[in-house]
A and B are shown apart, each in its own frame.
Chain A
């Protein structure tokens, strides 16, 4: 019977196997983002002045707030995992909910940032942007693509945590069966780490 056979194999793979699989997946994510960082590196070295001018227009305070929000959400996620391991399910649920809220907060701030830029006519291929230098055109192009794809990952992360939250509440994720929550946590931390690089590249280094 195919179904139970597969289940047995998955059981033999065990939590360590699932963790290994998740790490392998994160490697692929790293290289996926790597392609974008490669473009950034090349164009930054080619158009240093344009990048400098464009980066000055980013609002560092807003960016810093968002960074704080996302870093704190990672703390909440780590607490959620640690609490579950100690059997404190209620605290874990609360911490997961807090993670989701901070993730949503991050996206909301990102949304207002994007909207403000678009309001000024700054978006890819816009007449306003095409008036600017090559470096600025590429900087804002990279800004939208990199923060956009990062935002998409935040959204996926939020959805995943919503699932683990429901499963924890239903008792399907427990201290003994915490792999799914741990792997979701790994994903969330990865998304956080990517932002830690995006923040200086777009806001701080001018």
Chain B
């Protein structure tokens, strides 16, 4: 931009406290600074995760040339651990949630600012321990991100340290959830009843409860692995009477609800963007709000669908399958309501909406294929194939990942006080969209044809589809580069952003861009719902 030398007002970026530079950030309890630091860390880990993903795809082009079988196992494990525990689970809540929850509900900060800072430190510590585990005795772990027993008990790779790292990350996640739930209960602005609260906080509220009530279960499961490796109690060892399937249960009792930790806040971001860019009140506000809570509630009870082939009674299988179908209903309600909001709206297709629409499209594919997997008979056919890999990448990347990009483009002007180049953002989106579908839709086909997941090699008949998928990964990576490059450039050279570039009506758009340290000079009084366009 030609006027790149004009700087926006410093807002909360100005160091007012006794500290300067890095210390002023690391020691800050300002939710906005913590949110920005998380955002930087998440983006970094996302890029690392994508890079490993591209290397995995590259290896599949000619198995054995780039990675040995052992290195391949370690690569997909690391890809999973980074993407899941360091990027997508903390993801939207710690970045946009931290930055915007207080702004959206008219508060000056979260309920426990110092606890929030502790969460951030724990996140860094967890990431550090996982990072260190890669270089310690045994080398990077090769169990897959699920740490299934007996792999995780018997492997000589460095599982113990990695498990400690994930445990610490779990603590960080719990404290964030605790903080947000309390914040929403205690710090809503005067006049903001529950049903005048924007929908993103609603999803953060539901997510907070899932974080609180599910994360401890993986914490104890990880403790079991750790103790098992050092003391050998035999909880999951059949030779001592233990049962490895019990570990799978414990693991999924957390890790399925964790899917909703990843996707609920993403849905919240979409619920913020769709009304703003169609200039309409959200269709069926209460239905969207309650569906978040319903997803969180029912989401607890479906973990067994990961284990249909592991050995379970038929009664349990039927019950889990039924509940899996049930949890799709509130998701369907959300999709319907977003589309109904767009209907007859004055739609303006800027980058944030483009990403939001992509979320709706890709998440629908991910969700509907989820029903195929959730049915007992087809599950037998596609279990542990590329079909599953495709499904969860559509839900996680096509869902939560796209929402992350949508939120990034939507709130970028507010967070950094600068505008990005709209055209470049759209080019990046196009590359990402095309690359994504080439990469992952091909996997649906491969999976139906019987290609198992996590295999290092494959018969020649899969070669064409594997190649298409790998080429897709290059286009996707190019898209990510264009998108992030565009934003990085805007960070330094973008023209200053106005207070409210999109015409949003929620409270964050009433502050300066970037917001001042105290958010609001006076705590606003709320007298109507969040999206009063009509």
Contacts and interface: CB of A to CB of B under 8 A. Distances in A.
Contacts, number: 155
Contacts of B216: 28-32, 34-35
A49 to B, nearest CB: 12
B217 A34 contact: yes
Contacts of A149: 223
A52 interface: no
Contact of A24 (B17, B24, B28, B178): B178
B513 to A, nearest CB: 19
Contact of A13 (B17, B24, B111, B223): B111
Interface in A1-25: 1-3, 5-10, 12-14, 16-17, 20-21, 24-25
A17 B185 contact: yes
A132 B405 CA distance: 57
B114 A6 contact: yes
A47 B241 contact: yes
B231 interface: yes
B395 interface: no
A42 B285 CA distance: 43
A85 interface: no
B108 A8 contact: yes
Given A134-B241, A138-B241, A9 B212 contact: no
Give the dominant DSSP class at A's interface.
Answer: helix
Nearest to B218: A35
B147 to A, nearest CB: 14
Given A5-B30, A10-B114, A34-B216, A20 B221 contact: no
Given A6-B114, A35-B216, A135-B241, A124 B186 contact: no
Given A5-B517, A10-B113, A138 B240 contact: yes
Contact of A6 (B16, B29, B178, B182): B29
Interface residues of A, number: 49
A105 B16 CA distance: 50
Contact of B112 (A13, A36, A38): A13
Interface string A62-80: 0000000000000000000
Contacts of B178: 21, 24-25, 28
A2 B28 contact: yes
A43 interface: yes
B242 interface: yes
B142 interface: no
Q: 5 closest Cβ contacts across the A-B interface? A: A134-B241, A141-B233, A6-B113, A35-B220, A125-B232
20 contacts: A2-B17, A3-B29, A6-B114, A8-B108, A9-B110, A13-B111, A13-B187, A16-B186, A21-B182, A24-B182, A29-B216, A36-B220, A42-B246, A46-B241, A47-B241, A123-B231, A125-B234, A137-B240, A138-B233, A142-B235
Interface of A: 1-3, 5-10, 12-14, 16-17, 20-21, 24-25, 27-36, 38-39, 42-43, 46-47, 50, 123-125, 130, 133-135, 137-138, 141-142, 144-145, 149
